[in-house]
Structure 1
């Protein structure tokens, strides 16, 4: 068991998790500004980006880079410095650290070493989008970024379809067409969706409609900026429909290799018969499935 009293007088070095604005700099809290000014070092996802924020608030604290490509190298260094009494603040380029951004591994490492981790409240794109979306706000399910490959995204959406909550997804503006095509395909053309882009910025926009309407829009207009997609919560009728087809949906959400192995392990089929059944279930030729299994 790990029990932390964040503001004990015995606390020496510690790690502060400091959210930064997702667009509008006025969303920076007084406490966040003070913390960044008082700590010894700021861990930044992109030091050049964070320096603009520091300049705006006249903060002169030193920075150290901390991103997905140097995590293994940085964590031991940071832990050693905190244990020597240094205080750190971690920030991402925008929003809250660890939420679809670097930070989780460092938090785990600090907890393992009994180092105090203090979170500050602040900006988060998913919650900001949700409260103005017009969709049922709770319960909600935050997924973050979908995979980049078409098949991977479709498999993830198939799993998300079985969830009853409003679903929050982050997506690159360069993949909006493919993403809404797949949402319409997996969830159905009448699925209620909301596209939120450029949150808190001058060109903030909420586009509310059906999956089919959003498919048409993103093919007609080249939408730019940071994007957040919300998929409306299920009705009782749609949940029953999903429950009736849950086994098939879950199997189709597996990769082809996993689907074949599942039939071998669970149904006792030979590999030949499992390949034949997977091909039939997925409307593929047996040769296609065979070549994937034996690559």
Structure 2
């Protein structure tokens, strides 16, 4: 069996009782980073587990081995923070497990996306999740030409070091839109900024941070 366990985004005590129980009972924990997962287990006073790593470098053969583990053991999948298998390689493992009739369950908990949406000052009837734009400049600009035409609310995210770059692009492409920028959710320096991209950028004090952007409807 494979259980997806949402782990804390910032404060280590923000994990559900079900998530803690799943980690305690796991034979194997599949993680992005053994360092981050070991730190969490130590905080929760859970004995060390057998770890397997699943990240962007994992091969199809690696996934096959992990799926076989899930078929014969009680396995938890975690990411470094938040809900696993969301914008990371976990979905490939889930697909393989389902193909092999391995039970996949979810221990719900912290989600940066739900945290962002809950901070909205407007009622959201629907939204689009865009996520990461292409890293390469030409492809990225091409994507922007499509994204900026979306009328419904939509969500953007990127790596911490692209914070300023993405905000500058929002200022260029979303001149007349209102945005909500959530930085370092659930951490001591959590910061929420709302307004035009120009004003939000002017008040931005971080050069690098974990972040997500909600672009309100046109």
TM-score after normalising by structure 1: 0.69
Shift of 1:198: 0.8
Instruction: Report the equivalent of 1:191.
Output: 177
Conservation of the 8 A alpha-carbon contact between 2:163 and 2:208: no
Task: Please tell me whether residue 173 in structure 1 is matched to residue 160 in structure 2.
Answer: yes
1:89-128: CA deviation from partner (whole Å, max 9, x where unpaired): 0000011111112201000001111111111211111110
- Unmatched segments (≥5 aa) in structure 1: 1-13, 235-295
Task: Please tell me whether residue 96 in structure 1 is matched to residue 83 in structure 2.
Answer: yes
Conservation of the 8 A alpha-carbon contact between 1:138 and 1:166: no
Shift of 1:181: 2.4
2-structure distance, mates of 1:151, 1:131: 33
Task: Please tell me whether residue 72 in structure 1 is matched to residue 30 in structure 2.
Answer: no
1:213 to 180, 183, 199: 199
Matches within 5 A, 1:29-178: 29-60=16-47, 61-83=49-71, 85-178=72-165
- Between the two proteins, the alignment pairs up a number of residues equal to 217
Secondary structure, counterpart of 2:145 in structure 1: helix
Structure with higher helix content: 1
Task: Please tell me whether residue 233 in structure 1 is matched to residue 217 in structure 2.
Answer: yes
Secondary structure, counterpart of 1:183 in structure 2: helix
2-structure distance, mates of 1:173, 1:39: 31
Conservation of the 8 A alpha-carbon contact between 1:44 and 1:92: yes
- Unmatched segments (≥5 aa) in structure 2: none
Shift of 1:47: 0.7
Write out the 4+ residue segments of structure 1 that deviate beyond 6 Å after TM superposition.
none
Which has the larger Rg? 1
2-structure distance, mates of 1:195, 1:75: 35
